[in-house]
Every structure is written in structure tokens, then in C-alpha cells.
Chains A and B, each alone.
Chain A
């Protein structure tokens, strides 16, 4: 069975600090997809990134970067120079590649608070 663990329940940092959100996953499949979503106080989940298991290249998008390491089954998310607008709950999620099974397994989320 697939599982996603986000061990950090809540994190608070002062604005402009860097912060890393951890995500560790478990799956028996060799082909799978990993996702990060952001849930601001308004409630709607916003898609941030998708990564498949064959692509271990790290990704950078502005102040956001993701570090995918299959050896440690981790897909960590770093925000550089954090801003108040980054305050949200962040979810990591995993989807195995079985056709017809589009199920996403979510972690329990990390609540990030950026202190002005």
C-alpha cells in the first residue's frame, strides 16, 4: 500500500528565511507520480508540481525548488526568501501508475506560517 508521510505538522519562520518541507513516501511500484499542493486560508488546493519516478532532476520555479531523491524516497520542497503569502498548508501526494486508478494518496499536510 502506498503511504505519504509529512512529519512536520507545523512550521513557523520569519519572513525572508528559507524553509524546507519534508515529504517521505512508500510505494511498491517502480512507476509513480509525486505532487505538491498548496492550500491557502481560502481553502482551495492549488497544484504546484508533478514529478514522475523516472525524472530525478531537481526543479526550480522562482523561489520554489523541489529535491527528489529515490534513494531515500523523499520529495522535499524548499521556499527561498519566504513571504507572508507563502503561509498555507502544504500537501505532498503520491499516485501509482496503474491504469484506471487515478487515486492520490495525500500526506497529512504541513502548516507553514510566515511571520512578518
Chain B
């Protein structure tokens, strides 16, 4: 089974801090994704990556950046955290670019910015 692991289940940070959310997948998947989930809004794509060092903006990239130095790891960075970034963050991966394979999700990180 595919395993997508997010480094923290719960995280509390302060406004203005630089925040790192880490995601690791163990199945050699090419694609990795970061979403945020908010009540009434469903899941919205922040960034995705289809290869090492490659990244593409999703629907709501403002205030975020990403890093993919190794195939298995995809990091989401909040450069200067703000209270409106309090949310549930979900990482996902899928097998190959261009094949629309199902995305496999981690358990999520519930991030609170105080």
C-alpha cells in the first residue's frame, strides 16, 4: 500500500513565523500535491510537483512556497505565517504524470496560527 506521511498531525505557530510542513511518500510516485481544506470550501490546491525541483502553482499559491529536492519528499513553506492560514493541510501523491492515477493522501496536518 502507498504510504504518504505528514510530519505533524497538529501544529501551533505564531504570526510571522516561518513554518515548514513536510510530506514523504514511499512508493516512488512522480507527482506530489499540497492542498488546504476549509469548511464549506472543500480542498483547494496550493502547489503541485511532477518531478524533482519542478513545481507548479495551484489555485491558491499566495503566501506559500514549496520545495522538492528529493523525489519522495515535498515540503510546504509558509514564509510568514498569518492567521488566515489556519487550516487543515493535506499532502497527496500519484504515480505518473499524465495518467490521472488516483491521488493518495496523508492524514493531514491541522495548523493553527495564533
Contacts and interface: CB of A to CB of B under 8 A. Distances in A.
Contacts of B12: none
Could you say which interface size class chain A belongs to? 20 to 34
Contacts of A57: none
Nearest to B38: A108
Contacts, number: 61
A91 interface: yes
B63 interface: no
19 contacts: A44-B107, A45-B43, A45-B92, A47-B103, A52-B100, A93-B43, A100-B50, A100-B56, A101-B56, A102-B33, A102-B97, A102-B100, A102-B103, A103-B59, A104-B33, A106-B42, A107-B42, A108-B41, A109-B42
Interface residues of B, number: 28
Nearest to B32: A102
Interface of A: 9, 33, 35, 37, 42-47, 50, 52, 91, 93, 95, 97, 99-104, 106-109
Contact of A104 (B40, B45, B56): B45
A27 to B, nearest CB: 13
A50 B100 contact: yes
Contacts of A50: 100-102
Given A37-B105, A45-B43, A47-B104, 12 more contacts: A43-B88, A47-B102, A50-B102, A100-B50, A100-B56, A102-B103, A104-B33, A104-B43, A106-B42, A106-B44, A107-B42, A108-B40
Contact of B43 (A9, A52, A99, A106): A106
B100 A97 contact: yes
Interface of B: 31, 33, 40-45, 48, 50, 56, 58-59, 88, 90, 92, 94, 97-98, 100-108
Contacts of B59: 103
Contacts of B103: 47, 102, 104
